[in-house]
Chain A
Amino acid sequence: MIDWFDQKKIKETSVIVAGVGATGNEVLKNLSLLGIGRIHIVDFDRIEEHNLTRTVLFNEKDIGRYKAEVAAEACLHLDPSIKVSHKSGDLWKSLSIRQIKSFDAVFCCVDNHEARIRLNELCLWAQVDLYNLAIDSRYVAVEKYPFSKDRGCACYQCNLPASVYKGLRERYSCGWLRKKAFEEKKVPTTAITAGIAGASACSLFLQRDHKDSPQGSLRMYVDTISLNTTVAYLDHQEDCFCSSIFYDYIYFKVKNKPTGVPIRCNGVEKDFPVYLSDKVVLDVICRNCGTIRAINGNAESYDESLAYCSDCNALSNDVVIKDTLNFEELSARFSETVLPVKFLYFCKGDHQVLLEMEA
């Protein structure tokens, strides 16, 4: 009945929805009503009373339950024929690159730059299209990054202003240790902006193969008061990290155990750089007493209290944090402990090798 709407094709389509707040609810509602084939939902959070003014899939009896679980139930209620799975956890820890590869697209409905940057990176490696939704009380931004088809397209980070990175750095001290007292800025949103964002993102997704559909990475920006809408195209930036990713890299899933693969790799020089997906705290070194303590843990697990030396009773520790090591350093530090990262990659000759850790 609708000339551009192919129900059979939609039934064969699968997506991940990351974040089930205001925009995630709208995306899930639309996709469920359209009869999409398979949805995987990820969110770490539980439902609170204040969420209910902008979330069509939740109601009062759901307060305290996990958002992903309740959203999955609601999607099945809207269309029992769709396949829905869910994970109540952090998206970086919950989603593997291999898992993302088995979907057609990811809808990024989170509420902070850090999570968007991480999802962007996962989608780039997985070469799966990313739809990024963001709102406030007046404006709507929906971005499309067609990583599956357009190898040279811009990624989310290509055009992020430097002030965003500056803001991210303010959350941390000692390099990349979380500040205990950092308070997130609260951004008010409305059901109206969420509704427009969800509808626009789903429309862009459904029409991605249509002959009139705009190509390349783009941003749609709507002012919901003046109704002014702009669509602007995003250029790939050569100095962005995404330029370092080979599109025909070699992928391995490896068991992350102390004697795992990363320690040895035939044909690779021991001083070759290995790039880690996460920042790792290697050592803390006290400037006063000279005590060196090996940590070898993911920087996300620590906060600024690591700068405190209990022997000197002072904030006198220098914290050594890195996200690039060579094979010799990896071998020395992680031959007897688990490597605390999601994945690592390195170049071997003309090839790029990605090793994703299996928990």
Chain B
Amino acid sequence: MEELSIIIRTADKSRKAEIGISPSHKVSDIIEGAIYNWALPKDNDYTIINATSNKVLNPSDTLQYSEIRNGDILEIQPVLTAGRR
């Protein structure tokens, strides 16, 4: 399976990287890689959107199933929980 070339970035745009990755990888693998490589806070939950197609990606799906294409920009967003305090 041919590698995909995609761009990963954080929601605040402070981190951005172009990566090559197999389409058989899961979306959650990208989240884990970003947390590890960019030292994102581990006590947060994260979700990913495809900023090119404006779709929220399911972490348990593969990149192929999520129809990720070469050049797509994926944005990692913290899952927010607060609002009441």
Contact = CB atoms under 8 A, between A and B. Distances in A.
B51 interface: yes
A225 B12 contact: yes
Interface in B48-64: 49-51, 54-56, 58-60
Interface string B32-72: 00000000000101110111001110111000000000000
B70 to A, nearest CB: 20
A30 to B, nearest CB: 15
B81 A223 contact: no
Interface of A: 19-24, 43, 45, 50-51, 54, 109-113, 116, 133-136, 138-141, 158-164, 167, 185-187, 189, 194, 197, 219, 221, 223, 225-226, 228, 230-235, 237
Label chain B's interface by main secondary structure: loop
A187 B43 CA distance: 11
18 contacts: A23-B83, A24-B84, A45-B84, A111-B82, A111-B85, A133-B83, A134-B80, A136-B78, A139-B78, A141-B80, A158-B58, A159-B58, A161-B79, A187-B81, A189-B83, A230-B75, A232-B49, A232-B54
Contact of A139 (B11, B84, B85): B11
Given A23-B84, A109-B84, A110-B84, A162 B56 contact: no
Ranked nearest first, the 7 interchain pairs of A and B with the lowest CB-CB distance are A21-B84, A111-B84, A134-B80, A187-B82, A232-B49, A23-B83, A19-B84
Chain B: interface residue count, which band?
A: 20 to 34
Nearest to A48: B85
A20, A134, A197 — most chain B CB neighbours (10 Å): A134
Nearest to A166: B45
A133 B12 CA distance: 19
A219 B13 CA distance: 18
A20 B84 CA distance: 6
Contacts of A54: 85
Given A161-B45, A226-B13, A232-B49, A136 B85 contact: no
Contacts of A185: 43
Contact of B83 (A21, A161, A225, A235): A21
